[in-house]
Structure 1
Amino acid sequence: MATVVLVNVVLLLTILVHHHNQVQVSASDPDILTDFVVPVPPNTNGTVDVDGSYFTYTGLRSFIGAFPPKFTIFKASVTQLPALEGQSVSYAALVYPPGGSVNPPHTHPRASELLFLLVGSLEVGFVDTGNQLFAQTLQQGDMFVFPKGLVHYQYNKDGKNPAVALSAFGSASPGTVAVPSAVFNASIDESILAASFKTDVGTIKKLEAGLSH
């Protein structure tokens, strides 16, 4: 009887370890078995000739010298540059106009983020799983890391000067979950939101209306 119990325990532990390893593997970009990945169009012989242009992305040219009237993100992920497939890296350029522009609280479920402030100053921060806020005021030339999956933000409170930053991600497709939109624009029942935020449905409707513009 004791032997049967021991065998069952070993089997259970094996299953749990296997499941844990699967979760760990799926939480980051999968490894590739080639130098790089080239999509093969259908109806071909399985080979595609590529040159340097395949590894080049010119979409950030519009970012250089750009000062849009509201917070703007210029992305360079696998969607924009397919050559990033399997490389576990991507970029974003961010422009924060003066006068309170904000990149609202959000998460990147598949990547940590390393932000480098090129111009201006920024108030940045993230909240860990213990609900502790880690905040900092960045000046031009500073860097700040946002751990993977944690809620974070950036805010330019300077009323006269813009801020410009570059962010590097540890995934070709980091993903973004914007907290305000995910909560108030995802068709969650308003009574559930009212109970969750300890307010009334009327207040929830106002928040939803404000985010819809």
Structure 2
Amino acid sequence: MASFHALVFVALALVSAAPMAVVAGDPDILTDFVVPTNLLGVPMNVTADFFTYTGFAFPFLPPATFSVMKASMKEFPALEGQSVSYAKLRFPPGTVNPTHTHPRAAELLLVLEGALSVGFVDTAGKLYTKDLVVGDMFVFPKGLVHYQYNQGAGLAVALSAFGSANAGTVSVPLTVFGTGVDDVVLAKSFKTDVATVQKLKAALTPPPSPKN
């Protein structure tokens, strides 16, 4: 009898956990794909062009800074409901994709050109790092803080796949120092002084646009 009660308990636990598993990723859709509508709510005519994205090439001779081209639901509406997206990352020598997280998906990174040093920190505070070369893949678990860094002398290019049409990106430096958190709170949190906090904030805040 005791074993029967244990089995019932396990079954109930699995059933109660099922809805949580469903909401952990993108919501399922009840059609093959999401048909776009016009301003009047009328479904638009869909052709093969709707399923094609051609904006994934970097601009000619981009600046010598880290840059990323995204193909998420925002840039490629056909991805809505499909639980997949991509990003193409370009790292000139000495550049970094600063510490950040993706709250809605894991990231699978493939090095296409050059070499990258990557790492992430788990919820126990352990740092995992790896030096990658062309053809190497590395997975960043969902929601964990991670980075990529090109410490070599040549260009590095990588492709990232996400298990969400809208993985989201939360920049750690910008979130901490660029969103208006009180200077005193930050100074106490990082065991430093307000002047240092203000210096960091100034470095992360773009100058105001000139008024015409």
TM range (shorter): 0.7 to 0.9
> Which amino acid is 1:107 matched to?
T
CA apart distance, 1:42: 3.4
Secondary structure (helix, strand or coil) at the match of 1:152 reads strand
Return the alpha-carbon distance in structure 1 between the equivalents of residues 177 and 183 of structure 2. 9
2:129 is the counterpart of 1:135: yes
Which residue is equivalent to 1:33?
30
The structure with the largest helix share of the pair is 1
Return the alpha-carbon distance in structure 1 between the equivalents of residues 21 and 180 of structure 2. 31
Return the alpha-carbon distance in structure 2 between the equivalents of residues 57 and 184 of structure 1. 35
Return the alpha-carbon distance in structure 2 between the equivalents of residues 22 and 184 of structure 1. 36
> Which amino acid is 2:181 matched to?
I
Deviation digits for residues 128-149 of structure 1, max 9, x if unmatched?
0000001000011100000000
Contact 2:102–2:167 (CA under 8 A) maintained in structure 1: yes
Deviation digits for residues 99-143 of structure 1, max 9, x if unmatched?
x10000000000100000000010000000000001000011100
Return the alpha-carbon distance in structure 2 between the equivalents of residues 56 and 66 of structure 1. 25
Aligned to 1:103, which of 86, 97, 101?
A: 97
Aligned to 1:54, which of 34, 50, 55?
A: 50
| Aligned residue pair count | 194
CA apart distance, 1:24: 4.0
Instruction: Report 1:167-186 matches (<5 A).
Output: 167-186=160-179
CA RMSD between the two structures:
1.9
> Which amino acid is 1:119 matched to?
E
> Which amino acid is 1:196 matched to?
S
2:68 is the counterpart of 1:78: no
Deviation digits for residues 35-72 of structure 1, max 9, x if unmatched?
1111222335x443211000011111346x76541100
Unaligned runs of 5+ in 2: 1-11, 207-212
> Which amino acid is 2:119 matched to?
G
CA apart distance, 1:21: 5.3
Unaligned runs of 5+ in 1: 1-13
Mark the CA change 1:23 to 1:66 in structure 2 (over 3 Å): closer, same or farther: farther
